[in-house]
Amino acid sequence: METNGTAYTAKDFSSDQDVRWCPGCGDYSILKQMQTVLPELGINRKDLVFISGIGCSSRFPYYMNSYGMHSIHGRAPAVASGLKAANPDLSVWIITGDGDGLSIGGNHLIHALRRNLDVNILLFNNEIYGLTKGQYSPTSELGKYTKSSPLGSIDHPFNPLALALGAEATFVARTVDRDPIHLREVLKRAHQHKGTSYVEIYQNCNVFNDGAFELWTDKRQKGAHSLILEQGKPLVYDGGKKGLRLDGIRPQIVDMDNDYSESDLWVHDEKDSVKAHILSRFFDKDPTPETFPRPFGILYSEDRFTYETAMQNQMDKALDLQGKGDLDDLISGKNTWTVE
Amino acid sequence: MTREEKRTKVAIHFAGDSGDGIQLAGSQFTLTTALQGNDLSTFPDFPAEIRAPIGTVAGVSGFQINFGSEEINTPGSNPDVLVAMNAAAFKKNIRNLKKGGVLIANEAGFDKRNLRLAHMDESVNPLDELHSSDYQLYRIDVTRLNREALDGLELGMKEKDRSRNMFALGFVYWLYHRNLDPTLQFLSSKFKSKPVVLEANIRALKKGYHYGETIEAITRYRVEGAKLQPGTYRNIVGNQALGMGLIAASQKAGLDLFYAGYPITPASDILHFLARHKNFGIKTFQAEDEIAAITASIGASFGGALGVTATSGPGMALKGEAMGLSVMLELPLVIVNVQRGGPSTGLPTKTEQADLLQAVYGRNGEAPIPVIAAQSASDCFFAAYEATRIAVEHMTPVILLSDGYIANGAEPWRFPKSADLEKIHVPYFKGKEDYLPYRRNEKLVRSWVLPGQEGLEHRIGGLEKEKESGNVSYDPDNHEEMVKIRAERISLIANEYPALKRVQGPEQGRVLVLGWGSTFGAIKVAVRNALAEGMLVSQLHLRHIFPFPNDLKDVLSDYDTVLIPELNNGQLSKLIRQEYDTRVIALNKIKGLPFGADEILKKIGEVHGD
């Protein structure tokens, strides 16, 4: 998977196809950051594969100059699982969206997460069905007015990170299209993680759901609402004015200018699954400056054996126990008789 | 006084509760009989429930074997021998037993409780009611005799009773001069770690065998070995043969086999078989659902493996969209459908051929996929091999149809040597650059580049693609052309089929019996008998159903009428009528059971006329 001294630039990862997302779509930023960060990742282009399902985000592989497959709705994690199992040397990236990954393909997503193949799942979450022109998605908020919910959605939305943790994911992160530096950093970490990396990317659909993530992208508001996670650092936000501490397992927002110093705060540890679960619950449906901020960064990262390694180990074990398979022995079996 | 008689063929039906070990007894009788050189055919028939209510008719598990010194092609319709372990097994099967046949009844299975559970009159033991002239009846208290035989062993009553099947089997072995050694060897290996259970089973088997000598005025039967074609044989079960065919083909093609499946009756045994053979470099993947099974296989094929998935009808329905994707991607993929009774959940453990039209047509858009069918248990090997050959050499998904009957059935097999299997050529791209993913050779096959190859990076997908470049294209003319190219490239496969060969019968005649799949054996017997009666009838059996063989038209036109027996409501008939101008008569059976040869013979007689 490592380069043979090939020095790539972002341009090397750009295909000759015209990009056909709507002008202003958040997908452009994600594509650009992917292409920008790839030269830093040390992946040989010949080993790079993008697998997608169906939806706006799933056009992504066509725009990458690498191997790729635009498969069918919701099935990218299953396609990618077969691909990675067949050839573990490849760097496999799954591109999906909130409809593709959490609705029609929800089953494949959770099973991919528990199996833990060494692949990366980028879930572009725009909280809407874009390519079918604006129906509510499994991440749309309750009461959302769309073409298919003229009186407001009555579907309680998924919490995509809590879902992933519940599905035994080994790497769970969130980032946002409008923060290129953070996005690149998370992509890099996702690549480095050995196992299935699950990255939710807040992505603005400026046509059908414009401003869905404004609280976390708008310069004036995002400080009060975003919590940027850094390993080993205390949880502070809102320009250092606020912090988070744990009272037992109950999180608490504290004002830093009063009685609390950084040493009182909860220190982020992405290896701690209990803390990761608490962070994943910072998911207020009506965020205000008084509610918990939305965390961005790596909530959880765990070293666990990968599926393809376990698969290879079993094949090695079978070789040890049974010896290399001989076709004629197999076909004849142990009990034969001869007719003269 | 024991008498001896010779028989050229015998059909035995073992029946008992689904927990009685009937399938095990049946498969042991099969192995033993195969090793004694008889030709044979088997038909296991068991309920969908794992432990259906004890003693009920619904819970009866059956295993029929037909064996002989002559050629055997079906498990036989009416058995010569019925082994009934309880009243329910008796009730379900007695009307099939031939008049004058042997009935071996476990006396303990006919007590009031068992009669009640079988919904029979508790006040009358049906065995008392039988006319002695109708059957040779052996009333044996298997339960009691078996317990006595195991006296002194450190086993509970329930555990002792578990070896009753071996007692009954032992008796049948004695009656038909079978050799005990293969089963003794089998038991020794199966119960290696449980010496007491092993001892119990061995004692039960031997006690049953010797029991025969204690009965007066009994007739033993000899069935000599069959004069099969010279060669080395083994016994084979369909799903096993299918798994072997896949392994053989992947090895001959030089591809790693990647098999993904979701548990479903009656296809799961293929997954079990392959999972035991990882030493052939096979990767097996138990997927989260049917769709994941096929899409993971597609992913594996994209990565350069031979992707295979197997399922049954309901799973085929779920895989439909992904099959369409594989048509667009033009990657090798083998999709096995071990058919069962449908629609919906239908009859999970019963056999049927009702997924033929689904295989040929069941996808959105113009999505042609070659369809081939296996005709017997051992033929599953060659059918799997041929399916893989077409898939790889033509870069296409292929649907392979088997069914519950041949999947679980067994027969002797004069197996091939691997060196004699034809080579499978993989159409890899040979160049270093200028790769156009959808540029085609003279057979309209695109060439294959695997991720990991330098400088040949490309994208494929389910959207319509521009001719040659494979780039996304919505151009109307391009779409029409691509649809026609995909159709033509599949129709060209028929050019490679060997010339059609009638199984038997004259080259011209009144009736051609045309079959596909598991009806082969029953049709063969029926046509053979019809020929013996002087009828002008021939048999033709289709391996390739889509596309049809190019010479099928000519063969059909050599007969006045084409008779098509199928275990469905007339699906091949429909295809033949639609494609050819020929007189078709359908013979349909949709009971979850295979044809009996007599049913087909009767119809041939009607169609043929005097």
| Res A5 pLDDT > 80 | no
Encode pLDDT of A48-64 as tens digits.
999 999 999 999 999 99
| Res A174 pLDDT > 80 | yes
Would you call B234 and A336 a contact, using CB atoms and an 8 Å cutoff?
yes
- Counting beta carbons within 10 angstroms of the beta carbon of residue B111, is it exposed (0 to 12), middle (13 to 18) or buried (19 or more)? middle
Chain B's closest residue to A66, CA to CA, is: B457
| CA distance linking residue B75 with residue B520, whole number of Å | 12
| Res A213 pLDDT > 60 | yes
Chain A's closest residue to B257, CA to CA, is: A86
Query: ipTM, 2 decimals?
Result: 0.97
| CA distance linking residue B360 with residue B547, whole number of Å | 9
Would you call B459 and A325 a contact, using CB atoms and an 8 Å cutoff?
no
What is the structure's pLDDT at B102? 95
| Res A2 pLDDT > 90 | no
Reported as type and span, the H/E element at residue B537 is strand B537-542
Would you call A333 and B225 a contact, using CB atoms and an 8 Å cutoff?
no
What is the structure's pLDDT at B394? 98
What is the structure's pLDDT at A6? 65
What is the structure's pLDDT at B133? 83
A15 Rama class: left (phi>0) / alpha (psi -120 to 50) / beta:
beta
Which of B289, B459, B460, B471 to mutate to probe the A interface, most A CBs <10 Å? B459
User: Which residues are registered as beta bridge partners of B214?
Assistant: none
Encode pLDDT of A270-301 as tens digits.
999 999 999 999 999 888 888 999 999 999 99
Here the tokens at position A285 are 């449906």
Average pLDDT over residues B521-538: 97
Residue B18: pLDDT band (50, 70, 90) is confident
Which of B259, B295, B319 to mutate to probe the A interface, most A CBs <10 Å? B295
Residue B537: pLDDT band (50, 70, 90) is very high
Binding-face residues of A in 280-339 toward B, CB within 8 A: 311, 314-315, 318-319, 321-325, 327-328, 330-333, 335-339
- Counting beta carbons within 10 angstroms of the beta carbon of residue B289, is it exposed (0 to 12), middle (13 to 18) or buried (19 or more)? middle
Average pLDDT over residues B495-503: 97
**Nearest alpha-carbon partner for B54 in B107, B17, B23:** B17
Residue B112: pLDDT band (50, 70, 90) is very high
What is the structure's pLDDT at B131? 85
Encode pLDDT of B34-55 as tens digits.
999 999 999 998 888 887 888 9
Chain A's closest residue to B322, CA to CA, is: A72
Helix (H, G, I), strand (E, B) or coil at B42: strand
Q: Which of B305, B415, B461 sits opposite A69 (nearest CB)?
A: B461
| Res A212 pLDDT > 80 | yes
What is the structure's pLDDT at B109? 95
Task: Please report how the helices A76-86 and B290-302 are oriented relative to each other, as an axis angle in degrees rounded to 10.
Answer: 50
**Nearest alpha-carbon partner for B486 in B597, B567, B394, B363:** B394
What is the structure's pLDDT at B556? 98
| Res A13 pLDDT > 60 | yes
Report chain B residues whose CB lies below 8 A from the CB of A107.
288-289, 292
**What is the pLDDT of chain B when averaged over all its residues?**
96
| Res B573 pLDDT > 80 | yes
Most distant CA pair in chain B: distance in Å?
88
Here the tokens at position B577 are 């009528």
What is the structure's pLDDT at B46? 85
Here the tokens at position B245 are 């065919």
Binding-face residues of A in 32-51 toward B, CB within 8 A: 45-49, 51
Strands of B231-237's sheet, edge to edge? A336-339, B231-237, B410-413
- The dihedrals phi and psi of B412, each to the nearest 5 degrees, come to -70, 150
Average pLDDT over residues B362-369: 98
What is the structure's pLDDT at A287? 86
Contact B517, B507 (CB under 8 A): no
Report chain B residues whose CB lies below 8 A from the CB of A73.
321
**What is the pLDDT of chain A when averaged over all its residues?**
96
Cα-to-chain-centroid distance, residue A295? 14
| Res A145 pLDDT > 60 | yes
Rg (alpha carbons) of chain A, rounded to whole number: 23
What is the structure's pLDDT at A4? 52
Angle at CA B302, nearest 5°, toward B285 and B493?
Answer: 105
Residues sharing a CB contact under 8 Å with residue B518, sequence separation 6 or more, in sequence order: B351, B353, B374, B375, B376, B402, B403, B405, B406, B567, B594
Percent of chain A with pLDDT over 90: 94
Instruction: State the distance between the two ends of chain B, measured CA to CA, in whole angstroms.
Output: 49
Task: Give A258's Cβ-side CA count (13 Å radius).
Answer: 6
Encode pLDDT of B253-300 as tens digits.
999 999 999 999 999 999 999 999 999 999 999 999 999 999 999 999
Percent of chain B with pLDDT over 90: 94
| CA distance linking residue B582 with residue B556, whole number of Å | 7
Residues sharing a CB contact under 8 Å with residue B599, sequence separation 6 or more, in sequence order: B77, B522, B526, B587, B589
Binding-face residues of A in 107-146 toward B, CB within 8 A: 107-108, 111
Would you list the DSSP string of B323-358? HHHHHHHT--EEEEEEE-B-STT-BTTS---TTHHH
| CA distance linking residue B425 with residue B441, whole number of Å | 14
| CA distance linking residue A270 with residue A232, whole number of Å | 8
Taking 3-state DSSP, the helix, strand and coil percentages for chain A, each rounded to the nearest 5, stand at 35, 20, 40
Place of tokens 């391009």: B478
In this structure, the number of other CB atoms found within 10 A of the CB of residue B458 comes to 20
Cα-to-chain-centroid distance, residue A57? 13
| CA distance linking residue A261 with residue A236, whole number of Å | 10
Alpha helices in B212-306 (DSSP H): 238-253, 268-275, 290-302
Q: Residue A322 to residues A86, A315, A331, B189, B545: CA-CA distances in angstroms? A: 22, 10, 15, 17, 39
Binding-face residues of A in 80-99 toward B, CB within 8 A: 80-87, 89-90
Contact A204, A212 (CB under 8 A): yes
| Res A197 pLDDT > 90 | yes
